[in-house]
Structure 1
Amino acid sequence: MQLNPKESVTDIKKAIFNPFPGLRPFTIKESHLFFGREGQVDEVLLKLQQNRFAAIVGPSGSGKSSFVYCGVIPLLLGGFFPERSSNWNIITSRPGGSPIENLAEAILQNDEIYVASDREKQQIQKAIVSGLLRGSSMGIAEAVKQSKFLSAKNTLVLIDQFEELFRFRKQDIYKESINESLAFVNLLTEAMQNEELPIYVAITMRSDFVGECAFFPELTQAINNSYYMIPQMTREQKRRAILGPVAVGGATVTPRLVQQLLNDVGDNPDQLPILQHALMRTWSYWETHHELNEPIDVPHYNAIGRMEEALSQHANEAFDELTEQQKLICERLFKSLTERGAGSVGSIRRPTKLSYIAATANAPIQDVIQVIEKFREPRRSLLMPPYPSLLHEDSIIDISHESLMRIWSRLKNWVEEEGEAVQMYQRLSEAALAYQVGKAALWRPPDLQLALNWKLKHKPTLAWAERYNPAFERTMVFLEYSQKEYETEQRIKEQQQKKALRRARLTALFMGGATIVSIGFLVFAMTQKVEADRQKELAVKNAKDAQTQRETAEKNAREAELQREAALASEKEAQKQREAAVLSEKEALKQREAAERSAAEAEKRRIEAIDNANEADKQRKTAEANE
C-alpha cells in the first residue's frame, strides 16, 4: 500500500486495521482474512454431500475451527455445495459443561424472536427446546421442524471442540453426565440419518482424542466413513497466512521478518495460534510506534517478546492491571476454565457459565465480568466470547485457545494447583462415602492436616465441588467431624497428661523428700564407704607391707639357712683342716725330729769333717815336715 507523504499519521491509522484475530479462531465474518488453506475445502464438502457428516480432525493449534468457519461455511453460504442452494442455517455449538443445553441455545440463536426476547422468555424457550432434545434421539429434527426459521433451509450442525464431551465418560461418578453425552451423540447420529430434513453434521476434534470415540459405535462408524485430517501447513502456505492479512489490513512487512516468523514457527502446528497472536501484537506495536511509510519489521517483533514470550507477556499485562481482589477472582476464573488432562492428554479447556464462575469465586457476577473484560479487550482476545459481546450470568466463558494453557506459566501453575485440589477433594469425598457405609475410619494426621490445609488454601465452595463430586456437604461434614474427633482426642490426651502431670508432681514431692532422706543416708553411706575404703586401702597396704616383710624374713631365713649351711660346711672344712693341721703338725713334728736328727747328724758330720780337715791339715803339715 503506497502512502501519500502529505497524509497525516491520523489519516494513515484510519486507513489501516489490524487483520489478525490473535489467539481466538477466525470467525465467519473474517473469512476474507483467512489465507493459506485454499483448495482444501472441497474434500470436506464432498464428505458432507456423501455422508451428511464430516469429522475435521487435527492436532491442537492446527486451525480446525478457523478452517471450518472461514473455509467450509463460506462455501456453503456461497452456494458451492453440490445439489443444494445457498440457503443454510448454521448451528454452531460446543459441548462445554452441558452439551444438550448448549445445543438448545445454539438452535435458538437462529430464531429472531428468541434473540429479541427478554431474559425470562429466553429461559422458558430454552427449557422447552432442551426438553425436546432430551426427550428423544430425534430431538434435533423435531426442533428444526418446529422452527419456522429453520425448517425451510438446509441445516449444518457444527460441534466445535468435540473433545470436550469426553470428560464426562472419564469420571464414572457423573452417571447423569455420561448419560447426557450418550444422548448428545445419539442426537447427532439420528439427525444426520434423518431422510425428511436436510440436516448435516460436522465436528472438529483434536486428533489425540480420536480413540475416545470408540465408546460410541455409531459415531465411530460415521468418523471412519467421513474422516478428514487437516493437513499441516507448508512453509509457503504459512507465508501466505502472514502476507495475505497484512495486505488486506493495508500495511507491508519486511521479508526478513517473514523469514524470522517462519523460522520461529517451525513445523509444529501448535504454533499457528501463537503465530497469529504474535502477529497481532507486532501489528499493534507497529501501529503506535512506526515512522511514516515504515513497514512492519523485526524490531517491532522483538519488542513484543517474539513468539516465545509474546503470549505470556500479554496475559501478564492483563493480570497486572487487576487489583489484589480481582487477581483472586482471576485465579478462580482460569481454574474454572481449565482442567488437567489424564495420562498423556494435556490440559483441557472447560467452557463454563459465568454464573458458575461467580459462584466458585464467591464473588458478584459484575466483579467477575470486570475481570473477564480485562482479558477480552480489543486486541487482547484471550477469553471468549469475543469483544464486544455483552456478558450475562448465562454467558459461556472460554479460553481462546489451548496454547494459552501451555505457554502462560502462571496459568500452568494454576492448572497444577487445581488438579491437586481436585485430587484431594476426590480422595476426601471417597473417604467420606466409605466412612458412611462403615468401610473406613475418620481421617487422622497426616491426611487430616493435608485436608485442612487444602480447605484453608482453596476455600472450596458448593458450586466448585459439584463439578467433581456432588456430595460436598457430606464430604465437609466428614472433614469437620474428623477434625472435631481428633481435637477431642487431643483434649482428652491433654487432660490425661495434666492429671498425670499433677500425679507426677505429688509423686515428685514425695519422692523429693524421700530423695533428700536418701541423699542423707547416701552421704552417710558414702562417708562410711569412703572410710571403709580408706581402711581397706590401709589394710591392703599393711597386708602388702606384712607380705613384703614376710617375704623379706623368708628371704633372710633362707639366707641364714644358707649361711648356717655354709658355716657348717666351713666348720666341717675347718675340722678337716684342723685334723689335717694336727696331722700336719704331727708330720711336722716328725719331720722336725727327723730334721733335728738330720741336723744333729749333719753337725756330727760337720764336726767330723772339721776333725777330718784338721786331721788332714795336720797330716799335710806332717807331710810337709817330713819332706
Structure 2
Amino acid sequence: MAVEITGQVIRGYELREQLGAGGMGAVYRAYQAAVGREVAVKVILPAFANQLEFIRRFETEAQLVARLEHPFIVPLFDYWRDLEGAYLVMRLFRGGSLRGALEDGKRYSPEATLQLLDQIAGALVVAHRNNVIHRDLKPDNILLDDDGNAFLTDFGIAKATAAKNTDGDDDEEEGLAGSPGYMSPEQITLSPVTPRTDIYSLGVILYELFTGTHPFSNSSTTELIVHHLNDPLPDLTLSAPEFPYALNEVIQRATAKDPDDRYPDVLTLAAALRQALQADDRISLDDVRFSTAEFELFAVNPYKGLRPFEEADAADFYGRETLVSLLLERLQATSAEARFLAVVGPSGSGKSSVVKAGVLPALRMGAIPGSERWFIAEFVPGTDPLQALEAALLSIAVTPPTSPLKQALRTQQRGLLDAAAQILPPDGELLLVIDQFEEVFTLLESEAERAHFLHLLRVAVITPGSRLRLIVTLRADFYDRPLNYEGFGALMRVRTEVVLPLSTEELERAISAPAERVGLWIEPALIAAVVGDVREEPGALPLLQYVLTEVYERRDGRTLTLAAYQASGGALGALARRADELYAQMDAPSQAITRQMFLRLVTLGEGAEDTRRRVLRSELTAITRDQALEDVLNLFGKYRLLSFDRDTKTREPTIEVAHEALIREWSRLREWLFSSRADVRTQRNLASSAGDWVANQRDDSYLLNGSRLTSFDEWATGTDLALTPLEHDYLNASRTHGEREKQAEIAQAAYEAQLQKQANQRLILLVAVLAAAFIGALVLSLFAFNQSQAAQDERNNAQTQVAIAATAAYDAQTQQSITEREAAIARSLALAASADQL
C-alpha cells in the first residue's frame, strides 16, 4: 500500500494487522465493534478504485458476489467505495491459503486434490450459474480452514458474463485482469471471458497440486504470457510418473488454448478427473468426503422470497418486459420534465424490482444511447434523506468536491445540481434512484427538511443543462403526499408511470423462466395452480416469490411439484404458515424476543397501512444481548423473512422486515400491533426524544419534565415493551434532572423561607428598636411634655398670678375709680348741700 493505514478505524472497522499486499491494495485483519467479530478487509487503492469503469461496475459486481451462497465461497459481508478507495469485508480465515500449503514443492495427495477440487468446483458452479466469472483463480485465492477445507475468495475483480467493454478507453483502464501465472489466453488478448476462463486457471492449479511446481516455473511475466498464449502445459507424467496418463489428458483439455476445446463446465472437469483417478488401481479414493455428484444437487434458487429483485438478480427477472420497455421509452422523452420519473404502484406490485432488475441492467447495456456510460447511484431516504443522498453521491464521485457536499445539500436550493457537477467528469451523466420514496413522508419528522429535500430534487432535474436524472419508486397509498408540494406535485402529475398487475402470460413467465434458466423443471399443474391463486390478488408478487422459494426448498430432485406447493400452504398461506412454524418451534423466551423485535420493525401508519421500519442491529441487541436474539435473527433470516443490510454512513448492520406482505399476512404480528399500538407509539416518541437529546450533546433542556415526564414515567412502569439502554438512560436522566430540579425548588423554598425568617427577625428587631426608640421618644416626649406642662403650668400660674395681679390692680383701680367717683359724688352732693344751705 502506498499509505500505511494499520490502526485506523474506517466506518466501524478497526484495521489491526496487514495480512498481505499486492499491486491493487492490501488485506487487513480487522475488528468490527458493532458486531463484535474479526473480519478480513480488502482495501483497493484509489488509483484503481477511482477509475471510471471501476466506479460504474463496482456496486453491481460487489452485489453479485455478495449474493453468492455456497458452503465453500468466502462470504462477502460488506462493501463500499469512496474517494479514498474501495473496501470489501469478508470472513477471516486463520488457516492460511493454498499457496502456503504448496510452499517448498509440497504436493497434494490424489484424495486431498479431489476433495479440494470438489469444494472449489461446487463454489464455481454457483458463481457461474449467477453469471459471475472469478477471473483470478490462483492458490492465493483459495483459503483453508483448520481441517483443510478449501474456500474460494477474492471475487473483487469478478465480472458478470454480460459485462462488456464499450470502447478502447475502457480496455486501457481495465488492463489485464488476473495473475500472469494462471491467466487464460483470452484474458491476455482482452477477449470476452466465460466460465471456461476459470476452467483454464483451475487446470493450472491442478497441475501444481499434483506435481508441487508451477508448469512454467522460473519464468518472467513476459515469458508467462508467451507460454499461456502458445505453449501447452508440460506432460504431467514427466514430473509425476506415478499418475496415470489419463490424468495428464484431463489437465491438457482443461488448459486448451481455445476455450471451445476445454470442458464445457467445471462439473464436467471434476467428473473427468475423478474418473481418471479411479481408473488407476494404485489410487484409493475411499477417504474423500465430498463428491461432485453432491454439488449437482446444490442448485441455485432462482426465486427471491420476500426481498425485491436487485440489479444483480436481473438474470432471474421475467414477466415485466413490456413495462421495462415503457419505462425506458419514457426516460427518452425530451420535455422539460423528462429527467424525472416516478414509478408508482401498490405494495407488492414489483415497482422496485422492475426498476432495479429491469431498467438499470438495460441502461447499463446501452438501452438509451450513451446510458452504458452513466453513473448510477441508489439509496432509500430513511430518517435523514440528505445524509443518504450525500453518501450515494460520494459512492460514485470521480473527483473530490471543492466544498463539503453536506453543507451545500442542506443550505442551497441548487445544492444537488452543483454537487453533481463537482463529482462527475466533464461529460458524465448521473442517474439517481430513490427507492421507497414514501419514507420521505413516513420517517422524516421535519416538515422544513422535507420541503427543502423535494425542492432540491426538483431544481436538479428541471434546470436546463442538468446532467442528473431521477427515478423514484412510491407506494400508491402515498401518492397524494408529494402532490401537496408546489412544483414537485406538477412533476408527479406529468411524469408518473403506474405499475399494473401482471397478466396471466406474464405470471406464467415469471414462474417458469427462472426455473428453466437453472435447469429446474416445473409441473404444468403447479404453474396453473399458482396463477389461479395470485391472479386476482393485489400486491401478490412477493407472495408468489415466497411460495416458489418454499416449493424450491421442498423440490423433488430437480422438479418443482404441485404437491410441494400444496404442502407449503399455497401462495396465500405459505408466508403466514412459515412464520407461525418458526414461532411455534421457539421456547417462551425466544417467542418474547420475537414479539419485541417485530414491534420495533414496523412503522405505524397514520391514515395509511403500517410499513416496515429499518433499524440498526444495535437497537435490537440493546434490548437483550441474549444468544436467543441471534438465533431468532438467524432463523427468520434463513427463511428470508428478514433482510439484512448496512447503514450507508457508519456501515453498522441494519435489519428490516423483508416485505410489507409479512405485516399484512401474518395474523400474529397484526394482533401484536393491534394490542400494543399505543405502547409502540409512545415508545417511538420516547426514542425520538432520546435521539434529540443525544444529538444535542445530552443537553438538559432536551430532557422530559413536568407532566410529560410524569406521563412517560407512568407508561414505562406499566408497559411490557423492552426499552433500550439509551431509552432507559434518557428516562433516568430526566428523572434525575427532575428530582434535582425538585430538590433545587425545595432548597430554593427553604432558602427563601430562611431569608424571610431573617427578614422577619430583622423586622422584629427593627420594630423592637423602633418601639424602644418610640417608647424612649415617648418617655422623653412625656418627660418633655411634663416639663413643658410644668413650665406651662408655671407659665399659666404666673400668667394667672399676673392676671390675678392685673385683676387685683384692675379691681384696685376700679375700686379707686369707684372710690374717686364716690368721692366726687360725695363732693358734688356736699356742694349741692352747701348750695342748698346757702
| Common topology (TM > 0.5) | yes
Q: Map of 1:247-286 to 2, 5 A cutoff?
A: 247-286=516-555
Residue 481 of structure 1 and its aligned partner are, at CA, apart by 12
Residue 110 of structure 1 and its aligned partner are, at CA, apart by 2.9
Tell me the residue number matched to 1:383.
Answer: 642
1:349 aligned to 601, 609, 612, which one?
612
Q: Distance in 2 between matches of 1:427 and 1:101?
A: 22
Question: Which structure ranks higher in relative contact order (CA pairs < 8 Å, sequence separation ≥ 6)?
Answer: 1
Tell me the residue number matched to 1:307.
Answer: 571
Tell me the residue number matched to 1:222.
Answer: 491
TM-score (norm 2): 0.46
**Conservation of the 8 A alpha-carbon contact between 2:643 and 2:656:** yes
Amino acid at match of 2:670: K
Rate the CA distance shift 1:313–1:90 in 2: closer, same or farther, 3 A.
same
Q: Map of 1:490-509 to 2, 5 A cutoff?
A: none
Residue 314 of structure 1 and its aligned partner are, at CA, apart by 2.7
2:604 aligned to 340, 345, 360, which one?
340
Residue 195 of structure 1 and its aligned partner are, at CA, apart by 3.5
SS at match of 2:521: coil
Residue 247 of structure 1 and its aligned partner are, at CA, apart by 0.7
Amino acid at match of 2:441: F
Residue 307 of structure 1 and its aligned partner are, at CA, apart by 2.0
**Conservation of the 8 A alpha-carbon contact between 1:353 and 1:394:** yes
Q: Map of 1:440-455 to 2, 5 A cutoff?
A: 451=715, 454-455=718-719
The question of 1:25 aligning with 2:25 is answered no
Residue 69 of structure 1 and its aligned partner are, at CA, apart by 0.8
1:97 aligned to 375, 380, 383, which one?
383
Q: Distance in 1 between matches of 2:356 and 2:740?
A: 51
SS at match of 2:464: coil
Amino acid at match of 1:331: R
Tell me the residue number matched to 1:53.
Answer: 340
SS at match of 1:41: helix
Amino acid at match of 1:13: L
Amino acid at match of 1:154: E
2:633 aligned to 351, 369, 372, which one?
372
Q: Distance in 2 between matches of 1:302 and 1:323?
A: 28
Tell me the residue number matched to 1:76.
Answer: 363
SS at match of 1:267: coil
Q: Distance in 2 between matches of 1:140 and 1:186?
A: 10
Amino acid at match of 2:377: I
Q: Distance in 2 between matches of 1:327 and 1:217?
A: 48
Q: Deviations over 1:453-478 (max 9, x none)?
A: 534x1244475699xxx999658988
Q: Distance in 1 between matches of 2:328 and 2:591?
A: 46
Q: Distance in 2 between matches of 1:218 and 1:480?
A: 51
Q: Map of 1:203-242 to 2, 5 A cutoff?
A: 203-242=472-511
SS at match of 2:303: coil
Q: Distance in 2 between matches of 1:55 and 1:406?
A: 25
SS at match of 2:377: strand
Q: List alignment gaps of at least 5 residues for structure 2.
A: 1-267, 269-274, 276-290, 688-700, 743-838
Amino acid at match of 1:17: V
Amino acid at match of 1:166: F
Amino acid at match of 1:190: V
Q: Map of 1:346-425 to 2, 5 A cutoff?
A: 346-359=609-622, 361=623, 363=625, 371-377=632-638, 380-385=639-644, 394-424=652-682
Q: Distance in 2 between matches of 1:479 and 1:298?
A: 67
The question of 1:110 aligning with 2:110 is answered no
SS at match of 1:72: helix
Tell me the residue number matched to 2:374.
Answer: 88
Larger radius of gyration: 1
Rate the CA distance shift 1:64–1:328 in 2: closer, same or farther, 3 A.
same
The question of 1:39 aligning with 2:322 is answered yes
**Conservation of the 8 A alpha-carbon contact between 1:44 and 1:228:** yes
SS at match of 1:223: helix
SS at match of 1:162: coil
Tell me the residue number matched to 2:412.
Answer: 136
**Conservation of the 8 A alpha-carbon contact between 2:342 and 2:497:** yes
Tell me the residue number matched to 1:458.
Answer: 721
Aligned residues: 436
Residue 393 of structure 1 and its aligned partner are, at CA, apart by 6.2
**Conservation of the 8 A alpha-carbon contact between 1:428 and 1:475:** no
Amino acid at match of 2:598: F
Tell me the residue number matched to 1:560.
Answer: none
Q: Distance in 2 between matches of 1:350 and 1:311?
A: 19
1:161 aligned to 429, 432, 436, which one?
436
Q: Deviations over 1:223-281 (max 9, x none)?
A: 11111011211111111111111111211111111111111113123111101000011
Q: Distance in 2 between matches of 1:437 and 1:370?
A: 39
Q: Deviations over 1:195-236 (max 9, x none)?
A: 344210111111111111123222111111111011211111
Rate the CA distance shift 1:284–1:152 in 2: closer, same or farther, 3 A.
farther
**Conservation of the 8 A alpha-carbon contact between 2:309 and 2:317:** yes
**Conservation of the 8 A alpha-carbon contact between 1:97 and 1:350:** no
Residue 158 of structure 1 and its aligned partner are, at CA, apart by 0.7
The question of 1:146 aligning with 2:146 is answered no
**Conservation of the 8 A alpha-carbon contact between 1:339 and 1:415:** no
Q: Map of 1:421-432 to 2, 5 A cutoff?
A: 421-424=679-682
Residue 11 of structure 1 and its aligned partner are, at CA, apart by 5.2
**Conservation of the 8 A alpha-carbon contact between 1:339 and 1:419:** no
**Conservation of the 8 A alpha-carbon contact between 1:168 and 1:178:** no
Tell me the residue number matched to 2:54.
Answer: none
**Conservation of the 8 A alpha-carbon contact between 1:144 and 1:151:** no
Residue 58 of structure 1 and its aligned partner are, at CA, apart by 0.7
SS at match of 1:315: helix
Rate the CA distance shift 1:67–1:480 in 2: closer, same or farther, 3 A.
farther
Amino acid at match of 2:611: I
**Conservation of the 8 A alpha-carbon contact between 1:95 and 1:164:** yes
Q: Distance in 2 between matches of 1:128 and 1:368?
A: 40
Residue 480 of structure 1 and its aligned partner are, at CA, apart by 13
Higher helix share: 1
**Conservation of the 8 A alpha-carbon contact between 1:90 and 1:156:** yes
SS at match of 1:346: coil
TM-score (norm 1): 0.61
Residue 347 of structure 1 and its aligned partner are, at CA, apart by 0.9
Rate the CA distance shift 1:335–1:137 in 2: closer, same or farther, 3 A.
farther
The question of 1:185 aligning with 2:454 is answered yes
SS at match of 1:10: helix
Tell me the residue number matched to 1:537.
Answer: none
Amino acid at match of 1:27: E
2:469 aligned to 200, 203, 215, which one?
200
